[in-house]
Structure formats: C-alpha cells, structure tokens
A and B are shown apart, each in its own frame.
Chain A
Amino acid sequence: MAKKVLVFAEARDNELRNVSFEAIGAGKEIAAGGEVIAVVVGENVSSLTDPLFHYGADRVIKVEDQKLKNYTSDGYGQAFLQIVDSVDPDAILMPHTSIGKDLAPRLASKLDAGLVSDATGIELDGEEVIFTRPIYSGKAFEKKKVKEGIILATIRPNNIDALEIDESRSGEVFEESVNIKDLRTIVKEVVRKSTSGVDLSEAKVIVAGGRGVKSEEGFEPLQELADLLGAAVGASRGACDADYCDYSLQIGQTGKVVTPDLYIACGISGAIQHLAGMSNSKVIVAINKDPEASIFSVADYGIVGDLFEVVPLLTEEFKKVLQTN
C-alpha cells in the first residue's frame, strides 16, 4: 500500500545537505507510489525548496521563523511536531546527523513510536519496511523494523542513493507558520572548527592519520592532499590520544563511523576499534611503514612506506592527472 512519507530536509550554511536528498530517495522507496513530503525549517529557507523537488519530493513544506535560526531541540521539536500533526504521515525520515540524532528520539518519544537509527539500507517486504543498520560500529549488521504504527528512521549519509536530479520537476510549496515558545536551551555561539569545511560523516573521500603522523604538524601533508581531493581529514584514536589533533576527527568504535567512497589511511596501524569505524568504506588505501600492520588486511591497495614520503608524492601525482583532465 502506498504510504505518506515525511522527510526532514536539513540545511547547513543555507545549503541543503546531500543526505537530505538521500533521505528523499529513501522516502520514495518507502512511499511505494505514495507521497513524499519534504519539510525544510529555518530562518530563511525559500531558496532551498526547488532542489527538493528536483530530487523527488512531491510536496514541500517550508517553515520560517526567527526562532529557528539555530537548531535547538525545543524549537525544531515544536515546529516539527506541528507539521507531523497536520500531515499525519505513515513514516518520518531524518538524516542521521547531529540534528537528526538529537531530534528524532525526542519525536519518537513524544509520539510513543519506534525509531530505527542510522539506517544504511531499506527494503520492502510486502507491507513491511525493513531497515539495515550497523551494530557494534559496523562489526556486524542487523535488519530491523518498526512493529506497528508510525515508522521513524534516521538515514546515514552516503549509503542510500538519491534519485537522479531532474530540474524539470517542480511542485507546490506550502508555508506553515509555527508557534514556538519557551526555548529551554539557548545557543549562545557557534564556533567553526572544521578546517576544510568538508564534514567527515558526509565526505566522499577521507584522508586519515594515525600515530604515524607523529605531531600536529604531521597532519599538514594529509590536509594538502585532502584539500586537493575535496576530502575531509580524519584520525585514529592513537593520533587523538597523543594530542596530534582534535577528538572531533576521531574515527572508530569510539568516535565517528564513516563510509566514504575512498579512505586513505596514513600511518594507521589498524586496531580493531579503528577498523570498526572505517572498514565499510568502499575503497581503502593503506600507507604504512610496517608491512605487518593490520590495516593492510582491510585495504584494497597498500603502499609500504613512510607516509611523509608517500603522501606528498601522491598529492603531486593527483595534481598532475587532475590537471590534464
């Protein structure tokens, strides 16, 4: 049976995040011929509605309010609940991002509903929607469903395909005004720390460093390669514990779990706790001095050598071939 699916479209720096389009793609699959309604929320989001149609939304609801300038669980929670009430969807999808992780459980709790977090795949079995999700940071997977009632899920970036963009698609934008009161949390300031602007969880390419980078400065050649490839820089726990970089870069069972198209591991030995966070990347390159390092066991391509020699050479080589194209 066709379903009505509500998708939370998330923007960052007034640009829709790719995972929002992936969530619409997921919504299309669940809707099975039904309607996908995208909601976009913020202070000023009028410029964001067109792409949502291009990526498959049947209807778009925009909510603009000064109190929604910064994300707060109270502000967004109230706005979103009001939309849920008026739309009465069969399923709600959100990106598994900082905002989705913070907001979805609250919504689920308010609706007394089941929530499948961090879904990496969706399949339909008759009427049932079955989600795949990693457990133990990707050391294993489970298939899970919501038993009854409204279905809530958060979608991990980079795993479910968005529909092909079709700029001829359009539709009607509905504007909802919301009544937001009593914000119990106040965002005083947002401090930008990410250096390259490429978010780890959404990055298509990640250049990561381990203890082998030896110092804070040791990350510089990795950053250069990352900048060239439009990649994000990540790190192993070893590098974070040694204070070579901020904990926000940590990839592993504690830290972030990532699934980019390309993961370049530099001077990372490959402890099981790190492998859990990255071994489901599509293609893995390992660069390590130690030929016995366990990172080679999950790598598609390996170079045994000193990262301080290999990484700059790699940057040069990429510069050469990317220029000729």
Chain B
Amino acid sequence: MNIYVIMKRTFDTEEKIVIENGKISEEGVEFIINPYDEYAIEEAIQLRDDHGGEVTVVSIGDEDVEKELRTALAMGADKAVLINNEDLDESDQYTTTALLAAYFEDKEYDIILGGNVSNDNSTGQVGPRLAEKLGIAYVTTITKLDIDGTTATMERDVEGDMEIVEAQLPLLVTAQQGLNEPRYPSLPGIMKAKKKPLEEIDYDDLDVEDDEIEAKTETIERYLPPKKEAGKVLEGELGDQVEELVKLLRQEAKVI
C-alpha cells in the first residue's frame, strides 16, 4: 500500500499567544506535530504494519519542520518530504492545497491521511480541498478505519453521533481524536529515523504557476481577546452560596 500522511507543525497546545507587530510571535514557542496529524501518522503506521507498503509523511513549511518530520520517522514512518515555502510571502489553505496537489500529481497513492483540523488556524479545509483537487473521495473526522482489499470501512464522529461509512480506495481521510493512541518514538526508532530519507523540495520546483498558489484570503488584523476579569467567588454556607448563585445567574447575568 502506498500510504501518505499530510502533516503540519503547530504550536504546543500549552503555549500562550503573543502578538507582535500584528503577527503571532514564535519566540520561545515549543512546536509539536499537530495533535490530529499525530493520529493520522499512527494510523498510517498501523495500516502499513497490517497491509505492507510504505508510509510517507509530507509537510509544508520552513527548515524547522525537519524536527517534526524526524519525529514522524522515529514513530515509524518510512520517508519524509518537506515542501519548503520559506520564500513564499503569503499563503492560505488554497495555497497549501495547490502545493500539495502539485506534489501528489505524479504520485501513486492508495490512501492519504491527515488531521481533521490543525490547532492553530483550525479551518479543516486542506483535507477536503486536496481530495477535490485530486478527484478522490474523502471522509472526515474518522475514529476507526478498516481496510479490506480496496474497501475502507470507517466510523466517523458527527457531533457526538457516530456514522459508519464505506468507500473505495484511493481515498483521503482526516483523523479525529479517538482514532488511536499515538505511540511515542522509541530510542531505536529515533536512531533509525536519522538514516531514513527526508527529501526537501523547494515549492518553486513543483509544477505550479505563481498565480495558481496565490492566497485567496487575507488576514487584516490579529488580536487577543479582552482579558477576563476574575469574577466573584461566593462565600458563606454552601446552601446559601448555591441560592445566591442561582439568583445571580437569573438576575445579574440573566442567562437562565
């Protein structure tokens, strides 16, 4: 099986956000593999172990992404590809999709996996956009995946309910939490990862024209939400506190 994972490097979920000159500051920030992409990588590795084949993890970004790609290799992926977009001024989900579509143009794939959303921009656009460009079916927010021959059977999370969906390969799927328990890279895994192939492609070298990757959207402003003032911690007998709380919710906050 030819298995591909599209992966994004994101801020650690514990990071606070600082805005400097209208941009999100990356100073001192810890980066991780986007948590939903981690499920995709784990699932890809399990698929390969069950069905044979190869797992290639593809990411777009600057050279720093090599660290997360090495982590994916250490988890067990076979190959990694970095599409370097350092020299690209602006980019949105349209741009990312166009670059990935150009990369996949001459590739053979049975399945492409990704996270259902990234924890930074959280648009969840790139998976479905890419499937559409490649002309293949897609299933988002999956929590279970079984492949038998060329038939994939999936469970997907639909706002708390569960859908059982069937589709034929080639297919693009996006991972939801609960799909699996991503492994930590083992020490031998980390050692092996150093020797695994990590290919770097400049975005310019892909078969895509500048006007085909120009962002369709523009960010005008970024800002932090107003700081919430600490509220009222109630005091007194517990029964009285509860009574007061209900009164406050009804009369002061007027939410009940």
**Chain A residues near B (Cβ < 8 Å):** 70, 73-74, 97-98, 101-106, 108-110, 112-118, 130, 134-149, 184-194, 199-201, 205, 229, 246-250, 252-255, 257, 261-262, 271-273, 276, 279-280, 282-285, 291, 296-305, 309-310, 313-314, 317-318, 321-322
Shortest Cβ distance from A261 into B: residue = B255
Known: A73-B128, A301-B249. Is A279-B36 also a contact (CB below 8 A)? no
Residues 29-64 of chain B, each 1 if its beta carbon lies under 8 Å from chain A, else 0? 000000110000000000000000000000000000
CB of A108 within 8 A of CB of B245, answer no
Complex contacts, B164 vs chain A, CB 8 Å: 187-191
Name which residue of chain A comes closest to B245, CB basis. A301
Which residues of B have CB within 8 Å of A257? 122
Tell whether, in the assembled complex, residue A291 and residue B124 are in contact, meaning their CB atoms are under 8 Å apart.
no
Measured between beta carbons, the chain A residues less than 8 angstroms from B176 are 247
A248 to B90 alpha-carbon distance, docked (Å):
35
B contact residues around A254 at 8 Å (CB): 13, 35-36, 119, 177
**How would you classify the secondary structure of chain A's contact residues: helix, strand, loop or mixed?**
mixed
Q: A291–B233 Cα gap in the complex (Å)?
A: 9
Given the interface contacts A140-B24, A305-B238, does A200 sit within 8 Å of B159 by beta carbon? yes
Q: Is the CB of B159 within 8 A of A199?
A: yes
- Decide: A113 near B216, CB < 8 A? Known: A98-B159, A187-B163, A194-B159: yes
Q: Please state if A188 and B165 are interface contacts (CB–CB under 8 Å).
A: yes
Known: A106-B131, A305-B238. 8 other contacts (CB 8 A): A106-B138, A115-B125, A118-B123, A144-B217, A144-B218, A193-B160, A249-B160, A303-B238
B169 to chain A, nearest CB (A): 11
Q: Which residue of B lies closest to A145 (CB)?
A: B218
Residues of A close to B124: CB separation below 8 A: 101, 105, 117
CB–CB A106/B129 < 8 A:
yes
Q: A185-B166, A192-B161 are known contacts. Are A109 and B141 too (CB-CB below 8 A)?
A: no
Whether A105 contacts B159 by the Cβ 8 Å rule is no
Known: A105-B127, A147-B218, A273-B14. A317 touches B243 (CB 8 A): yes
Contacting residues, chain B, for A303 (C-beta < 8 A):
233-234, 238, 241-242, 245
Tell me whether B123 and A140 are in contact (CB under 8 A).
no
Given contacts A105-B129, A137-B119, contact A144 B234 (CB under 8 A): no
Does B232 touch A at the CB level, under 8 Å? yes
Q: Are A135 and B233 in contact (CB under 8 A)?
A: no
- Tell me, yes or no, whether B187 is within 8 Å of chain A by CB: no
Nearest-neighbor residue (CB-CB) of A110 within chain B? B132
Complex Cα–Cα for A223 and B16 (A): 32
- B234 proximity list for chain A (CB < 8 A): 301-303
- Alpha-carbon gap, A310 to B217, bound state (A): 48
State whether A282 and B217 are in contact (beta carbons under 8 Å apart), knowing that A135-B122, A191-B164, A317-B243 are contacts in the complex. no
For A194, A201, A261, A300, which residue has the most chain B Cβ atoms within 10 angstroms? A300
Q: Kindly state the separation between the CA atoms of A136 and B17 in the bound complex, as whole angstroms.
A: 8
Q: List 12 A-B contacts (CB under 8 A).
A: A105-B123, A110-B132, A136-B11, A136-B119, A140-B225, A142-B221, A272-B13, A273-B14, A296-B231, A301-B249, A303-B238, A318-B246
Q: CB distance A296 to B230 under 8 Å?
A: yes
> Which A residues touch B17, using CB under 8 A?
136, 139-140
Give the contacting residue for A186; candidates B119, B132, B161, B167; CB below 8 A.
B167
> Are A147's CB and B238's CB within 8 A?
no
A88-B27 Cα distance, complex, nearest whole Å: 45
Q: A199-B159, A301-B231 in contact; A229/B245 too (CB < 8 A)?
A: no
